[in-house]
Amino acid sequence: MPKDSQEKATTISGCRAEFIFYAQAGVPDPRPVKILGEYSCDCQRPDWESRWRDWNSRQNPYLNLFLCAEHARKLKLIE
Ligand SMILES: [Zn+2]
Protein backbone atom coordinates (compact mmCIF):
# COMPACT_ATOMS: atom_id res chain seq x y z
CA MET A 1 0.00 0.00 0.00
CA PRO A 2 1.50 3.35 -0.98
CA LYS A 3 2.17 5.69 1.85
CA ASP A 4 0.80 9.17 2.02
CA SER A 5 2.58 11.21 -0.63
CA GLN A 6 3.05 14.02 1.85
CA GLU A 7 5.76 12.00 3.51
CA LYS A 8 7.95 12.55 0.49
CA ALA A 9 8.23 16.19 1.38
CA THR A 10 10.72 15.56 4.13
CA THR A 11 13.58 17.28 2.38
CA ILE A 12 12.36 20.74 3.11
CA SER A 13 14.94 23.39 2.56
CA GLY A 14 14.37 27.00 3.26
CA CYS A 15 10.95 26.72 4.86
CA ARG A 16 9.58 29.92 6.27
CA ALA A 17 8.36 30.36 9.80
CA GLU A 18 4.63 30.96 10.07
CA PHE A 19 4.12 30.83 13.82
CA ILE A 20 5.85 31.92 16.98
CA PHE A 21 5.58 29.50 19.85
CA TYR A 22 6.33 31.37 23.01
CA ALA A 23 8.16 29.85 25.89
CA GLN A 24 5.72 27.85 27.95
CA ALA A 25 7.10 28.72 31.35
CA GLY A 26 4.28 30.01 33.50
CA VAL A 27 1.79 30.05 30.64
CA PRO A 28 -1.12 27.67 31.20
CA ASP A 29 -2.42 27.81 27.64
CA PRO A 30 0.28 28.96 25.24
CA ARG A 31 -1.00 29.68 21.77
CA PRO A 32 1.02 30.07 18.62
CA VAL A 33 1.04 33.53 17.14
CA LYS A 34 0.96 34.11 13.40
CA ILE A 35 4.10 35.69 12.03
CA LEU A 36 3.66 38.51 9.60
CA GLY A 37 7.26 39.12 8.68
CA GLU A 38 9.82 36.96 6.92
CA TYR A 39 11.65 34.60 9.22
CA SER A 40 13.17 31.27 8.47
CA CYS A 41 11.99 28.20 10.29
CA ASP A 42 13.98 27.36 13.42
CA CYS A 43 14.18 23.73 12.35
CA GLN A 44 16.94 24.75 9.99
CA ARG A 45 19.15 26.15 12.68
CA PRO A 46 22.26 24.18 13.53
CA ASP A 47 21.36 24.41 17.21
CA TRP A 48 17.77 23.35 16.62
CA GLU A 49 17.96 20.18 18.69
CA SER A 50 19.15 21.96 21.80
CA ARG A 51 16.61 24.75 21.25
CA TRP A 52 13.81 22.26 20.97
CA ARG A 53 15.02 20.41 24.06
CA ASP A 54 15.21 23.65 26.04
CA TRP A 55 11.81 24.81 24.85
CA ASN A 56 10.19 21.47 25.45
CA SER A 57 11.60 21.16 28.94
CA ARG A 58 10.52 24.75 29.68
CA GLN A 59 13.92 25.54 31.06
CA ASN A 60 14.27 28.84 29.29
CA PRO A 61 11.34 31.22 29.77
CA TYR A 62 12.72 33.55 27.09
CA LEU A 63 13.10 31.02 24.33
CA ASN A 64 10.57 31.32 21.53
CA LEU A 65 10.32 29.02 18.55
CA PHE A 66 9.75 30.26 15.03
CA LEU A 67 8.30 27.44 13.00
CA CYS A 68 6.56 26.75 9.73
CA ALA A 69 3.20 25.03 9.94
CA GLU A 70 4.56 21.78 8.63
CA HIS A 71 7.25 21.45 11.26
CA ALA A 72 4.91 22.62 13.97
CA ARG A 73 2.51 19.88 12.96
CA LYS A 74 5.27 17.31 12.96
CA LEU A 75 6.22 18.37 16.46
CA LYS A 76 2.57 18.12 17.47
CA LEU A 77 2.46 21.77 18.44
CA ILE A 78 -0.55 22.40 16.24
CA GLU A 79 -3.25 20.12 14.85
ZN1 LIG B 1 9.99 24.32 8.91
| DSSP strands (E only) in the chain | 19-21, 33-34, 65-67
Q: What are phi and psi of 43, to 5 degrees?
A: -60, -20
Please give the pLDDT value at position 58. 83
Domain count, the chain: 1
CA of residue 62 to ligand 1 center, whole Å: 21
> 7 in a domain, yes or no?
no
Alpha helices, DSSP H, located in the chain: 48-56, 69-74
Q: What are phi and psi of 65, to 5 degrees?
A: -105, 135
> 6 in a domain, yes or no?
no
- Tens of pLDDT, residue by residue over 11-69, are 546 899 999 998 866 666 668 999 999 999 999 999 999 999 999 888 888 899 999 99
CA of residue 22 to ligand 1 center, whole Å: 16
CA of residue 24 to ligand 1 center, whole Å: 20
For 32, the domain range is 14-74
CA of residue 73 to ligand 1 center, whole Å: 10
> 8 in a domain, yes or no?
no
**pTM of the predicted model as reported, rounded to 2 decimal places:** 0.75
